Amino acid sequence: MKPFFFRDRERERAMEILKLFFVLLSTALFLSLSESAPLTADYYRKSCPRFSQIIQETVTNKQITSPSTAAGTLRLFFHDCLPNGCDGSVLISSTPFNKAERDADINLSLPGDAFDVIVRAKTALELECPNTVSCADILAVVTRDLVTMVGGPYYNVLLGRRDSRVSKASTIPGALPKATSPIPQIIDIFKARGFTVQEMVALSGAHTIGFSHCKEFSSQIYNYSKSSSFDTQYNPRLAQGLQKACSGFEKNPTLSVFNDIMTPNKFDNSYFQNLPRGLGILKSDHGLYSDWRTRPFVEAYAADENKFFKDFARAMEKLSNYKVITGNQGEIRHKCDAIN
Give phi and psi for 181, each to the nearest 5.
Answer: -65, 135
- Within the chain, residue ranges assigned H as helices are 4-35, 51-65, 69-84, 112-128, 135-149, 183-191, 197-204, 218-221, 236-245, 270-274, 283-290, 295-303, 305-320
Has 285 been labeled as part of a binding site?
no
As a whole number of angstroms, the distance between CA 80 and CA 322 comes to 10
Residue 95: beta bridge partners? 98
Has 254 been labeled as part of a binding site?
no
Has 85 been labeled as part of a binding site?
yes
Q: Count the Cβ atoms, other than its own, within 10 Å of residue 169.
A: 17
Q: Specify whether the CB–CB gap between 50 and 128 falls below 8 A.
A: yes
Chain centroid to CA 205:
14
Long-range pairs of 227-235 with CB within 8 A, sequence gap ≥ 24: 231/283, 231/286, 233/278, 233/280, 233/286, 233/290, 234/278, 234/280, 234/286, 235/277, 235/278, 235/279
Q: Specify whether the CB–CB gap between 275 and 311 falls below 8 A.
A: no
Has 40 been labeled as part of a binding site?
no
- Look at the chain and count its residues: 340
As a whole number of angstroms, the distance between CA 121 and CA 104 comes to 25
Has 87 been labeled as part of a binding site?
yes
Has 123 been labeled as part of a binding site?
no
Has 101 been labeled as part of a binding site?
yes
As a whole number of angstroms, the distance between CA 194 and CA 334 comes to 32
Q: What positions carry a catalytic annotation?
A: 79
Q: Specify whether the CB–CB gap between 136 and 331 falls below 8 A.
A: no
Q: Specify whether the CB–CB gap between 68 and 112 falls below 8 A.
A: no
Q: Count the Cβ atoms, other than its own, within 10 Å of residue 183.
A: 24
As a whole number of angstroms, the distance between CA 269 and CA 206 comes to 10
Annotated binding site for substrate: 177
Question: Which residues are documented as binding site for heme b?
Answer: 207
Which parts are annotated binding residues for Ca(2+)?
Answer: 80, 85, 87, 89, 101, 208, 260, 263, 268
